[in-house]
Chains A and B, each alone.
Chain A
Amino acid sequence: GQNIDQPTEMTATEGAIVQINCTYQTSGFNGLFWYQQHAGEAPTFLSYNVLDGLEEKGRFSSFLSRSKGYSYLLLKELQMKDSASYLCAVLDSNYQLIWGAGTKLIIKP
């Protein structure tokens, strides 16, 4: 079966760094996505990785290791507005998006 695992909830302090991990087992792989979803809102696109390595985009970076079936989203200089759920999703061999359950990130002052 297809499976994506990510922690249910994480807590971090404003100004700090947090890493949200995602592991996956899917039928084929055509890339991994990270989306941010604030409570009561729709998800917004953060990053897309299809090759191994680190992609940096401002305060957010995303890493992928295809051989390990592993990705992480790194958030630096945390701000209160970063409190949200972070969704990991994999595009399988049929170009279907397989979603993780999301990680709720709580930022404390």
Chain B
Amino acid sequence: GAVVSQHPSWVICKSGTSVKIECRSLDFQATTMFWYRQFPKQSLMLMATSNEGSKATYEQGVEKDKFLINHASLTLSTLTVTSAHPEDSSFYICSARDLGQGEVIAFFGQGTRLTVV
């Protein structure tokens, strides 16, 4: 089956620092990757959609200069939370699919729990 690996699983950082989260598709080429944020007991919130080799498309209200997304290869996308603040503490989850092969199912990484202190 399709496997998406996300690292790290959890991270604690100091306010003002930056954190990078990696999302890798292990056994398929992810033409599209999605980044979500989920606060406790709330639903998934799509932050941005990235297609390999092009700039990410951010959802309304998501600051692109704060949440930097890079999708430089077909198997790797990264999300960098810059100048993190306590309100950025959340569960960040990536998902990936290979629409180029007609695969519409998006598979999720394990998620990254970010705590900013």
Q: Give me the interface of A with B, judged by CB distance under 8 Å.
A: 30-31, 33, 35, 40-45, 48, 87, 91, 95-97, 99-102
Determine the distance from Cα of A28 to Cα of B106 in the docked complex, in whole angstroms.
18
What residues of chain B lie closer than 8 Å to A96, measured between beta carbons? 49
Inter-subunit contact B104/A31 (CB<8 Å): yes
CA distance A87 to B44 in the complex (A): 9
Q: Which residues of A contact B104 (CB under 8 A)?
A: 30-31, 48, 91, 95
Q: Which of B43, B106, B109, B110 contacts A97 (CB 8 A)?
A: B106
**For the complex of A and B, 10 pairs with smallest distance between CB atoms:** A42-B111, A42-B108, A101-B43, A42-B93, A43-B108, A99-B44, A102-B43, A42-B110, A48-B105, A31-B104
Interface size class of B (residues with CB under 8 A): 10 to 19
Considering only residues 17-49 of chain B, those with a C-beta below 8 Å from chain A are: 34, 43-44, 46, 49
Number of A-B contacts (CB under 8 A): 41
The closest CB in chain B to the CB of A85 belongs to: B43
Alpha-carbon separation in the docked complex, A31 to B99 (Å): 13
B107 at the A interface (CB under 8 A):
yes
Shortest Cβ gap from A29 to chain B (Å): 12
How far does the Cβ of B117 sit from chain A's closest Cβ, in whole Å? Answer: 19
A-B contact pairs, 8 of them (CB 8 A): A31-B104, A41-B110, A42-B108, A44-B108, A45-B105, A45-B108, A48-B104, A96-B49
- How far is A97 from B97 in the complex, measured between Cα atoms in Å? 11
- Enumerate chain A residues within 8 angstroms of B95, measured Cβ to Cβ: 43
Residues of A within 8 A of B93 (CB): 42-43
Q: In the complex, given contacts A97-B106, A100-B43, what are 18 additional A-B residue pairs having Cβ atoms less than 8 angstroms apart? A: A30-B104, A31-B104, A40-B113, A42-B6, A42-B108, A45-B105, A45-B106, A45-B107, A48-B104, A48-B105, A87-B44, A91-B104, A97-B34, A97-B46, A99-B44, A99-B46, A101-B43, A102-B43
